[in-house]
Every structure is written in C-alpha cells, then in structure tokens.
Structure 1
Amino acid sequence: MVAIKEYRITNNCTVEEYQVAQLYAVAQASKNETGGGEGVEVRKNEPYDDDKGKGQYTYKVYHLASRLPSYISKIAPASALELHEEAWNGYPYCKTVLTNPFMGKNFKIIYETQHVGNDRGQLENALNAPPEVLKNRKVVHIDVANDKPDKYKPEEDPTKFKSTKTERGPLQGEWMKTCEPVMTCYKLVTAEFIWFGMQGLVETFIHKTVLQLFLSFHRQLFCWTDQWYGMTIQDIRDLEAQTAKELEEVSHL
C-alpha cells in the first residue's frame, strides 16, 4: 500500500509573505547544498500557462553521491545517484514530483500543497483529496517551534528568535493558537517505492526524512524573517536567476 501523509505546518506570517519567504529559503538552501560537482542543478525555471494552470515551473536535479556510503556511490550507476524534481508553483496551490532515473516507474514522491491564510491547521480536506486518499491518509501536525529537529541549530530556533523588522517571535508555548498573522501549509505527500521486500521499510524512511525536511525548512524560514521580509516576487526572481548562475559556476569547480 502506498504511504500517504498530510503534513500541516502553521506559520507566523501571511500567505503572501510565505510565498516570498519560501522561494527565498529554497534559493538559499540550494546555494548551501552545492559545491564540487555536487548538490542542486537548476535546469529550468520559467513561467507556465497550460492545462495545469498558470504559475512558475522548475526542473532541478539533486546530485546525491556524497550523501551516500562510499561503497554504494562507487558501484551504483550515475542515474541511481540523482533525484529529479519537477514543480508547478501555481500559488497558493503547488505540486512537486520527485523521481529517480534508475528506479523509473518504481519510485515516486508527490507533494501537493495548499497554502491557506488566517488558518491554524484545522481544515479537514484543504486539498480536496478523494475519499480513497482520505481513507489511507495520516495527518501529522508540525510545530516549528516545539518539535525538535534531528540536527539542532541555535540560530534556527524559533523559540529564541525575535524579528527586528516585524517584532514577531519568539514562538513559545501554544503560540499557534494566538499568533498573528497566521497561515497553514497543507502538504499531502504520497511516497511510492516498489521493490519486493523493501517497500514498507523505504516508504517509512521517506516519510521520516520528509518530516525532518519540513521541520528544519520552516524553522529556518521563520528565523530568516528579517532577510526576506519586504522582498517582492520580482526580487525573488532576480535572486533565483543569480543563484542559478552561481550554482552552475560552483558545480564545475
């Protein structure tokens, strides 16, 4: 059975602010993860207007060799050491699909996200999922302040950060019940790994990894408030273009 979980992540910002914050944080994370021929390769970043709707399309390749045990990276084919990501950002709804060339149709992770303003994570079906999905879905609430990441960084701790530009924070106690402004990301994640004897184990590992990624990313996002606050979407597009250029240069070092 395919593993389906819906992650609900409440944030101390507006929906409009979150769009800028998310794109800013993604660009910064891409730079931090790239170097020496490894990391993130941006192949496409362009507007789309088709049967999927209207928004921004990105196609990225994540090179993973250095993140795997050396004995695996030495014997595995190059296509097994890559994750390909296609994303359709038609904000406030977004869809992302992760695949692996080596696994082909046997591996896929699908993220569907709905961003809802003035919301604290209580909508029963924000993504309008069909009954068969709801039947198998498990809901996971993420508290970006009080949930502890695997790798703790004091500079990315929302319980200690206070924004000088917005005076938001620190996020403490039952902050999700009272913070203003507020919005929630509803992320429906479907993980599929078809490999006899390993499917359940790998899909469980995928969701554990996804949980930590979402938690760490949104802790960063809040603690970087003074960096992204006040930026426009055009500022972000300019930053993305510069980041893509820098990633291309660094990847060839």
Structure 2
Amino acid sequence: MLIKEFRVILPLTVEEYQVAQLFSVAEASKNETGGGEGVEVQKNEPFDNHPLLGNRFSSGQYTYKIYHLKSKVPSYIRLLAPEGLLEVHEEAWNAYPYCRTIISNPGYMKEAFHITIETLHALGDGDLQNAHELPGDKLKQREVVIIDISNDPVKNSDYKPDEDPTKFKSEKTGRGPLQGPQWWKKCDPIMTCYKLVTCEFKWFGLQTRVEKFIQDVERRLFTNFHRQVFCWMDRWHGMTMEDIRRLEDKTKVELDQQRKVGDVRGTKSE
C-alpha cells in the first residue's frame, strides 16, 4: 500500500472551484474519449446519509463511471493482463468541499486492487498538516507532495501553450499569469486541494512497480487537470450549478457517441 497527499495550490476561492472542477471534468472527459476507449457515465444523481470524513459530510452528488483504458496503461501490463483488467470502475461521492472517489477493477482484480482519492478543498496555501484527520500510523506512511501548476514540469506530449499558467491571463477576473517561485504568495484569493491517494495492487512481482506507477499517473493527471482548471477560467467563471448539471447531461450523450467512433484520444502511457 502506498499513500501520498498531493497539495494543489490554486488562485481561486473554494466556491469558485466547485464549478471550475465540474466544468473541467466534463471537458477533460471528452478529450480522453474516442476509438472504443474513454469514459462511460452510468450514474449521476444526488446522495444522502453517506457519512464521510468522520461524519462531517453526508450528502451531495454520486457518480458511477467506467473507464475503458487499453492504451492508457503501461505496455508490460497490456502484455500480461486479460481484457478485464483494462476496464476500471469509479464511484465518487462529491459532498463538496469534500469528495471521496474509489477506483476498482471488479471484473478481474476484485478486492486485490483499489485506489481511494479523498479530497478536501480549503482556503490557504497548503498549510493544513492533517487535513484528512489521519491516525498516527497512516500519518507516518503518508508522503506530502506539493503540486505547482506553474513551475512543475509536464511531458512534451501533455504541453499546450493555451493551457500554460505562466502565459494565461483571465479577461474576466484579471488573474494570472502565474510566474516566479511561490507565485501564490502574491495571489488573492488562494486555496488548496488536499488530495490523499491510497493505492493497493496485490499482484506478486508487480505490486511495488504498479503502485508507484499509479501514484506517478495521479500526479501527472492532477498537474495537467489543474493547469486546465486555471487556464479555462474564462470559460467556466460565472456559471451556476444549474448550468453545470445541464452540461453534464449533454456531456454524457456526447461521451456515449464518441466512445464508439473515431480514434483513441487523450493521455497515453509511455
């Protein structure tokens, strides 16, 4: 089992991020879907009485998605794995500002594989030392990783000039570009996504390698996604939650169509 807490610092309010995240998830899902691969949304509905983070949160929006991967996993796994391993299921309970996501592979790995991503969104520049209220043993296992969306390197294949926070300036808010070390010291507002990732892959001979790969992938996804969240600001700023729900309904239809046709799109494993 490998535990990392990624802290993503952003020049947004916590309220703004709720809309920004949902908008960006919908857009990013379209960018990752095509040619038989991508995201299949099976459920998107309200939930209640599901206690989270010590019962501090219990209601919000529940989603159930299936990810059809294939080209998005390392070649050594594709060579070894049966078809069922390349399809993962995601359940998410979004009780904003807290969200819990569980990723599994019920078709093949069953209880031997899971990724749990727990996120708390809070004001400040990443100074909460135990945002997820971990007990002592888990706290000792946890590694903290700060994600700097402006200065952290990205792969050449991921880089897009219009998604570069060092170049983007929002016309609607005047925020950006994000330049220099610790750019967040000069920003107001400022918030942090505390993303606790716990992964377990019980496969003899591959466990350590795959768990490290999963954490590396999560860091890559978090970095690229939040660069988009910031650089797409003028697209989502001013939207309401009603606008977001309409967008999600429309996106589900588009994803179902895209997945059946065209070429494979989006992030690929190298």
TM-score bucket (shorter structure) = over 0.9
Following superposition, the deviation at residue 73 of structure 1 comes to 5.6
Structure 1 gaps, min length 5: none
- Specify the alignment match of 1:167 in structure 2: 174
Following superposition, the deviation at residue 47 of structure 1 comes to 0.4
5 Å-filtered alignment, 1:1-253, equals 2-52=1-51, 53-68=58-73, 76-100=81-105, 101-117=107-123, 119-150=124-155, 151-173=158-180, 174-253=182-261
Q: In structure 2, how many angstroms separate the alpha carbons of the residues matched to 1:115 and 1:228?
A: 18
Q: In structure 2, how many angstroms separate the alpha carbons of the residues matched to 1:94 and 1:152?
A: 28
- TM-score w.r.t. the length of structure 1 is 0.94
Q: In structure 2, how many angstroms separate the alpha carbons of the residues matched to 1:137 and 1:251?
A: 37
> What secondary structure does 1:237 align onto?
helix
Following superposition, the deviation at residue 252 of structure 1 comes to 3.3
> What secondary structure does 1:180 align onto?
coil
Q: In structure 2, how many angstroms separate the alpha carbons of the residues matched to 1:130 and 1:73?
A: 37
Amino acid aligned to 1:120: D
Q: Percent identity?
A: 59
More divergent stretch after superposition (40-49 vs 58-67): 58-67
Q: In structure 1, how many angstroms separate the alpha carbons of the residues matched to 2:146 and 2:75?
A: 36
Runs of 4+ in 1 over 2 A off after TM superposition: 65-78, 249-253
RMSD: 1.7
Q: In structure 1, how many angstroms separate the alpha carbons of the residues matched to 2:197 and 2:226?
A: 17
Change (3 A) 1:191 1:71: closer
Following superposition, the deviation at residue 77 of structure 1 comes to 3.5
Q: Deviations over 1:181-227 (max 9, x none)?
A: 11100011001111112211111111111111100000011000000
> What secondary structure does 2:220 align onto?
helix
Following superposition, the deviation at residue 167 of structure 1 comes to 0.4
Structure 2 gaps, min length 5: 52-57, 262-270
Following superposition, the deviation at residue 70 of structure 1 comes to 8.1
Change (3 A) 1:67 1:142: closer
- TM-score w.r.t. the length of structure 2 is 0.89
Following superposition, the deviation at residue 74 of structure 1 comes to 8.4
